[in-house]
């Protein structure tokens, strides 16, 4: 990719706030029991923020261990200088086992059979075993002690960790809190049984962002924060409940290419979906759905900040451009900067807003911000 100062903030870009990232690392660290380390989730290009910027900064902040989704992501994180555990959380095809070895990645084994497949490669791969405590995604059944112990005793692997994943930790509903505690207690009982069986050297980890904020006492050796590290929670409700002290790391901005007047009754954009009900001014914004702006924010569903004021999206979002209704907002000019996520003057748009308006969560919106956006420190 062409990365040059000349291209920075050229059209549509992501600005990352170093201070916010540092703050979030300290806020999360302050919650952890002694001996428990952050192993942040930097999968999906660090939740869209840009792994190339985020990983080196986390290294500078003393983070050594990372979680990713795929072997390729793991290779990238290792190449960026990660010197601790780089755990691949997802499934890896046997064709890529050599990649695991070459970049000294730790692969998740989904169950005893998955562990056997990894052992059969004869590469002495590093492995953490996933244990299913109720989510029923990846993991060997927590109740199958023999299968778990069997996997852990396989020859030809370096298995040095077990972990589980929480599915309701971000919910305050009493039944979800009960379920989460039950997941954590199951995992705790398993860890105790493994210690009794002479398998006490294993590293354990269970907590995602919601888990760290609501159940920090179950820390173990590592925690795996994703969304909280980036200073937002999945929804505004979670942010209210759990997010205190975290600051958003990412702002999304784009330039205005043109401003024009349209007369009452005229349409604009594809399908002429925008209809001017009065004499209006439209601005053409240099970002579209190919950059990750959800198209369902069209026709006034979404809004942006311009000169500190909110302006609605006008008509249908295009692949690379978007119209804004800037009627009545003073000083809007071609070359001006618009904020889609982040602060502008007194006002702010949290990533949860466009996420919720498009029927999703901030995790999805952020992780889909495309490679075409430039990523810079603010
Ligand atoms: C993505 C992921 C995380 C991070 O989740 P957040 O809710 O973003 O903190 C942790 N563990 C696993 C297994 C994951 O897949």
Verify whether residue 203 is a known catalytic residue: no
Closest by alpha carbon to 104, among 83, 119, 89, 122? Answer: 83
Token pair for 156 = 């030809």
Query: Is any atom of ligand 1 closer than 6 Å to the C-beta of 42?
Result: no
Q: pLDDT tens digit string along 23-42?
A: 999 999 999 999 999 999 99
Tell me, using a 6 A CB cutoff, whether residue 286 lines ligand 1. no
- Reported CATH class of domain 18-237: alpha beta
- C-alpha–C-alpha distance, residues 36 and 223, integer Å: 7
Domain ranges (residues) in the chain: 18-237, 250-377
Nearest CA to ligand 1 atom 6: 226
pLDDT band at 9 (very low <50, low <70, confident <90, very high): confident
What is the per-residue pLDDT across 157-215, written as a single tens digit (0 to 9) for each? 999 999 999 999 999 999 999 999 999 999 999 999 999 999 989 999 999 999 999 99
CA 366, 371, 374, 377: dihedral to nearest 10 degrees? 50
> pLDDT over 90 for what percent of the chain?
94
**Is 270 a catalytic site residue?**
yes
How confident is residue 4, by pLDDT bands cut at 50, 70 and 90?
A: low
> 89: Cβ below 6 Å to ligand 1?
yes
Task: Report the alpha-carbon distance of residue 126 to residue 107 in Å, rounded.
Answer: 6
Stretch 343-347: mean pLDDT: 97
HEC letters along 285-306: ECCCHHHCCCHHHCCCCCEEEE
Quote the pLDDT of residue 5.
61
Express each pLDDT in 324-336 by its tens digit. Answer: 999 999 999 999 9
Our answer on whether the CB atom of 208 is closer than 6 Å to any ligand 1 atom is yes
pLDDT in tens, 240-272: 777 679 999 999 999 999 999 999 999 999 999
pLDDT of residue 1: 43
pLDDT at 2: 46
The first and second tokens of residue 175, run together, are 């039944």
At 6 the pLDDT is: 59
CATH topology agreement for domains 18-237 and 250-377: no
| 314: Cα separation from own chain's centroid | 29
In which band, very low, low, confident or very high, does the pLDDT at 10 lie, cut at 50, 70 and 90? Answer: confident
Contact by Cβ (8 Å): 248, 232: yes
- In sequence order, what are the residues at sequence separation of 6 or more whose Cβ sits closer than 8 angstroms to the Cβ of residue 348? 305, 342
pLDDT value of position 7: 60
Q: What is the pTM of this model?
A: 0.96
In the reported structure, the alpha carbon of residue 226 is separated from the centroid of ligand 1 by a whole-number distance in angstroms of 6
61-78 tens-digit pLDDT = 999 999 999 999 999 999
Cross-strand pairs, 314: 323
Measured CA distances, 17 to 5, 57, 77, 87 (Å): 18, 11, 20, 26
Q: Is residue 343 pLDDT above 50, yes or no?
A: yes
Q: How does residue 60 score in pLDDT terms, banded at 50, 70 and 90?
A: very high
* Contact present, 164 and 132 (Cβ < 8 Å): yes
CATH superfamily label, 250-377: Lyase, Ornithine Decarboxylase; Chain A, domain 1 (2.40.37.10)
> Comparing 5 with 189, which gets the higher pLDDT?
189
Quick check: 98 pLDDT over 80? yes
Nearest CA to ligand 1 atom 8: 226
**To 5 degrees, how large is the angle CA 299–CA 8–CA 331?**
50
Residue of 41, 130, 213 to test ligand 1 pocket, by largest number of atoms within 8 Å of CB = 41
């Amino acid at each position: 990719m062409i990365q040059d100062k000349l291209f920075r903030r050229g059209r549509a870009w992501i600005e990352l706030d170093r201070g916010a990232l540092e703050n979030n690392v300290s806020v999360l660290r302050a919650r952890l029991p002694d001996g428990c380390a952050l192993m942040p989730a930097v999968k999906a290009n660090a939740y869209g923020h840009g792994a190339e910027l985020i990983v080196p900064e986390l290294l500078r902040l003393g983070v050594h261990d990372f979680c990713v989704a795929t072997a390729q992501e793991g290779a990238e994180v290792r190449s960026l200088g990660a010197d601790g555990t780089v755990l691949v959380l997802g499934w890896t095809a046997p064709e890529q086992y050599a990649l695991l070895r070459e970049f000294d990645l730790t692969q998740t084994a989904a169950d005893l059979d998955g562990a056997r497949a990894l052992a059969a490669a004869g590469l002495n791969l590093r492995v953490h075993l996933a244990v299913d405590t109720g989510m029923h995604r990846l993991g060997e059944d927590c109740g199958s002690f023999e299968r778990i112990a069997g996997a852990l005793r396989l020859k030809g692997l370096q298995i040095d960790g077990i972990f589980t994943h929480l599915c309701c930790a971000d919910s305050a509903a009493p039944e979800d809190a009960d379920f989460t505690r039950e997941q954590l207690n199951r995992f705790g009982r398993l860890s105790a049984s493994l210690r009794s069986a002479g398998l006490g050297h294993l590293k354990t980890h269970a907590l995602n962002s919601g888990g760290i904020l609501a159940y920090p006492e179950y820390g173990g050796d590592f925690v795996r924060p994703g969304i909280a590290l980036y200073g937002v929670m999945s929804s505004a409700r979670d942010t209210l409940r759990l997010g205190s002290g975290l600051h958003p790391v990412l702002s999304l901005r784009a330039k205005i290419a043109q401003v024009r007047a349209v007369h009452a009754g005229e349409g604009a954009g594809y399908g002429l979906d925008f209809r001017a009900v009065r004499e209006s001014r439209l601005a053409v914004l240099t970002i579209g759905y190919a950059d990750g702006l959800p198209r369902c924010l069209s026709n006034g569903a979404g809004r942006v900040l311009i000169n500190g004021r909110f302006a609605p999206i006008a008509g249908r979002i295009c692949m690379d451009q978007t119209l804004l209704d800037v009627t009545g907002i003073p000083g809007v000019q071609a070359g001006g900067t618009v904020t889609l996520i982040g602060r502008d003057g007194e006002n702010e748009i949290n990533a949860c807003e466009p996420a919720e308006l498009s029927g999703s969560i901030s995790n999805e919106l952020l992780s889909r911000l495309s490679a075409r956006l430039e990523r810079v420190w603010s």
